[in-house]
Structure 1
């Protein structure tokens, strides 16, 4: 992690910029963080003019993000989040805001990425039981003057970003269509810079859309963002490697549904007649990059719930096993190296050995699952 500490003048400039634009700093929490990243967090209390708290990191910008030589955004940033005046940071129902502020400071340096306007993060479940908000976007903060939140310092350009929570429908729309289009759709300004756990949604799923969304178990869209933002130097088709591996395993074990086989059976025959069964193009073009629960029969669905469900708390997890396999192939040092950008699974050679090695892993988990089912029956 490349570190360039703020000079005394820079820190004074930052505090001046914060107080001129966001409010008077009333308190600074020192050395907040974990692992190798510790920084301060400034707290701005509610006022008559701005009746909400604002928490702002102080020190994230001392660490350079992985920029991919993109001159359109800064390699240095500080993050902020605004909270209503009745927000209780000591209540476990409210700590998610500070937790996510700190998690977002950690991500670029651990996963060799960088933030820019419109960056999206998905929590995959509501932040707590009192809200359905489940995702975050980084936007330019609201400023007193026409400014994107960019502060030019003597040693760096420092970009401030506001963390704004989103609902799943909004996140999905922004992921597919861009954050700008979501904001254009939000004519009633429902997306608020101050966290409102019960705000109205900009758009809602229809019953059909909700059913389709709940049917997705994994999607290339969940991985393509990191692929492009990190400048992964492998063919894009590698995004579909692990999806194709699981689909092939399900096919060979007769776990595909009758409806799926009616729709794609002839195409599968074409692929299975090849020396090496490579289903990646089928997943990418015919299945639109998605693996869906409805592709599988009843037994397959139950096994998926056990082994391939992002919402199911279980030690056996297929995407996790893919990552563990990559770590075993590359070794721990290279796995965590900047070269692989914490996306080592995309750099694996997609060949029969990869499939057979993962087949052995999946078979082992499947047999374990069967034994657990048998023990429940007894």
Structure 2
């Protein structure tokens, strides 16, 4: 088990964890629910266009499902499967979900063709989903509502065409209510959370005011990922 470095508490009172290097490569484990997840995605969001399959997997096999925009939902979607194959290491006594998958909502014209996937300006949301999906299992920890992870230490922008450098997990407001949970059996229910990238100033705002303080500023935004979207902390910090 990977030990966390001593935690630091943010100004909002929330713990900040720094993780040591994860264990080396581990064979794939867990209960595969690919077919059930695929059916769930198509029942609520529309047909899956293609799937980004991992050729080599570490501990869990992470697939990323691609969905094109349609009449009901004018977005490109990325949805993981495989993160939920293993239960996360949720604190004892917590009622937080133990099985999670992730969704990213992108503009309808986001490029997902093979050539564009070689360009980090288009590929980084896929990379981000795969990293987050594997993170709690490699680090023997958990992710849930309001958790945020920076892109490195110190954080770096995800790509050259954006200043976004971290992400927070929140319920998607661009999907139907029935999509948020998938009951597999009596003991396993999969929850789906959206990955919402943040600017450095928004990350700082969350550290100062907590998730609720950040979400107060997000009131008129949804979980659509746009590399140059409005920075909700811009006015507060006066940096631009």
Question: TM-score, normalization: structure 1?
Answer: 0.49
Distance 1:26 1:148, change over 3 A: closer
User: In the alignment, which residue of structure 2 is the partner of 1:49?
Assistant: 72
Which consecutive residues of structure 1, in runs of 5 or more, have no partner in the other structure?
211-378
Distance 1:77 1:128, change over 3 A: same
Which consecutive residues of structure 2, in runs of 5 or more, have no partner in the other structure?
1-25
Partner of 1:37: helix, strand, or coil?
coil
Question: 1: distance between equivalents of 2:224 and 2:50?
Answer: 19
Query: Which residues of 2 match residues 1-378 of structure 1 at below 5 A?
Result: 3-6=29-32, 11-31=34-54, 34-89=57-112, 90=116, 91-123=119-151, 124-142=155-173, 143-145=175-177, 149-154=180-185, 155-187=187-219, 189-190=220-221, 192-204=222-234, 206=237
- Per the TM alignment, residue 179 of structure 1 is displaced from its structure 2 partner at its CA by 1.6
- Per the TM alignment, residue 106 of structure 1 is displaced from its structure 2 partner at its CA by 1.6
Question: 2: distance between equivalents of 1:20 and 1:144?
Answer: 10
Distance 1:61 1:162, change over 3 A: same
The structure whose residues are more often helix, as a share, is: 1
The structure whose residues are more often strand, as a share, is: 2
User: Deviating runs (4+, > 6 A) in structure 1?
Assistant: none
- Per the TM alignment, residue 57 of structure 1 is displaced from its structure 2 partner at its CA by 1.1
Q: Which has the higher contact order (CA 8 A, sep 6+)?
A: 2
Q: How many residue pairs end up in the alignment? A: 202
Distance 1:3 1:169, change over 3 A: same
Question: 1: distance between equivalents of 2:109 and 2:55?
Answer: 23
Partner of 1:95: helix, strand, or coil?
helix
